[in-house]
Amino acid sequence: MSAQTTIHPASEPPPPLVPHVRRLRLDPLLVLAALGLVACSLVTLKSATANAIPGDPLFYVKRQAIYAALGIGLMYGVSRLDYSRLREWRYPIYGVLLLSLVAVLGLAKATRGAKSWIPLPGFNLQPSELGKVLLVVALAGFVVEMRNMGRQTTARAMLLGLVPALIVMVEPDLGSASVYVAGTLAVLFVAGAPWRHFAGLFALFAVATAMVLVVAPKAGIEVLHPYQVSRLTAFLHPSADPSDAGYQQEQAKTAIGSGEKTGRGADATQTLLGFLPERQTDFIYAVVGETYGFAGCAVVLSLYALLIWRGLHILTLAKNLFGALIAGGITMMLLFQLFVNIGMNVGIMPITGVTAPLLSFGGSSMLTTFLALGLLLSINAQARDTIDRKGRASVFQ
């Protein structure tokens, strides 16, 4: 025979081939939490805003549903992208962030004393919302390039985070500015900045707060408007001026307390009679408390806990530092917004206009949150693919 054929004995079968199984790119639990919060938002808005727009009881519900549908599509599309490529675009992303925030000051119309929204056909764009995600992505890219977490790296990263935060404060939007700072600190924490750096930053923050709220006013310099100072300090003594600065929180606490275990349903007078202000945005959690009681609040908080847990889990799976920084920054910002919003509703945090992600009404907030979740899913998908490849390689070693 001119050629030999190797025949495996029956007792030694050839090694089985391990097929490439494509994992589901979407984290089922994270998606479940997001969809559950959207469902809670639609149900709550239906009961809270039925009398808000005469002749159109579903005005807010229909728009929120449209924003959610667009957001879900955006989330899935972003999850299919390679997030690692964004590292190369850190300078353009940061530039777009600054330009969009500056553009607001010139293009936006003042609404209740603040310039935050750029009017578009059928939609009001709030660049400060989109900027939350852009800042985290850009900062993650800059920190990775800096490589070591010395004092200069921490100082540069904080400066990069404070510049857009200060621009947002000029609008003025103290809530979004605080979220920017929280996101910056989260990126530094995940990057491994020493605790002494954070101690120094918090000391500087305390000094700056004292200067703004105490020293500057005594010197005749108003850094903040009087109504902003009232909002920031009213939560410390809300009953001292219940008709003005403390009114919103007093009404929110009354609404939550009256809901008791299972809620008042159709008898939610604080909501239906208009005593509760901004019930579709800032104080939607109080609507949940009054209408659906402790049970409704527990469902909402459980879904948020699931969302945050999956974000932290994806942080631990990230295949590189860039992905870990993005996951940490996004998860911390979501947690911070949730803490501040619920704190506003129960009277332990000042009223700063921070909305509850996926629960409060708003197109910019909804789309930005789903964009952030899409990045988390992209990080998760690539981490899973990396684990798969390592597993297949180990079979043949």
Q: pLDDT tens-digit profile of 42-59? A: 999 998 898 888 888 899
Q: What are the structure tokens assigned to 306, written together?
A: 């699931």
The helix-helix angle for 195-210 and 151-170 (nearest 10°) equals 30
Average pLDDT, the chain: 85
Residue 136 confidence (pLDDT) above 80: yes
- For 63, the token pair is 């728009």
Which residue would you say has higher pLDDT here, 193 or 69?
Answer: 69
Per-residue pLDDT for 288 more than 90? Answer: yes
Under the banding of pLDDT at 50, 70 and 90, the label for residue 223 is: low
Buried b (16+ CB within 10 A) or exposed e, 127-150: bbbbbbbbbbbbbbbbbbeeeebe
Residue 396 has pLDDT above 80, yes or no: no
Positive or negative: CA dihedral 58, 256, 40, 83: positive
pLDDT for position 198: 86
**Which of the two residues, 278 and 136, has the higher pLDDT score?**
136
Average of pLDDT values for 226-249?
64
Q: Which residues on adjacent β-strands are paired with residue 123? A: 120
What percentage of the chain has pLDDT greater than the value 90?
53
pTM metric for this prediction: 0.87
Instruction: Please check the confidence at residue 232 and state whether its pLDDT lies above 60.
Output: yes
How do the domains of the chain map onto residue ranges? 28-193+225-387
Whether 250 has a pLDDT exceeding 70, the answer reads yes
Rounded Cα gap, residues 198 and 186, in angstroms: 11
**pLDDT (mean) for 264-269:** 83
Query: Would you place residue 21 in the very low, low, confident or very high pLDDT band (cuts 50, 70, 90)?
Result: very low
pLDDT exceeds 50 at position 189: yes
- Residue 22's pLDDT is 43
- Classified as helix, coil or strand, 111 is strand
- Per-residue pLDDT, 243: 53
Q: What is the pLDDT of residue 137?
A: 97
Mean pLDDT of 386-394: 70
What is the reported pLDDT for 348?
86
For residue 204, the tally of other CB atoms under 10 A from its CB is 11
pLDDT band at 277 (very low <50, low <70, confident <90, very high): confident
* pLDDT tier at 120, thresholds 50, 70, 90: confident
Contact indicator for 363, 63 with CB cutoff of 8 Å: yes
Q: Which residues contact 186 (CB under 8 A, 6 or more apart)?
A: 136, 328, 329, 331, 332, 333
pLDDT of residue 146: 84
pLDDT of residue 4: 47
Residue 373 CA to residue 72 CA, distance in Å, equals: 9
Contact predicate 379/79, CB 8 Å: no
pLDDT at site 312: 97
The predicted pLDDT at position 95 comes to 96
Quick check: 10 pLDDT over 80? Answer: no
With 50 as the cut, is the pLDDT of residue 266 above it?
yes
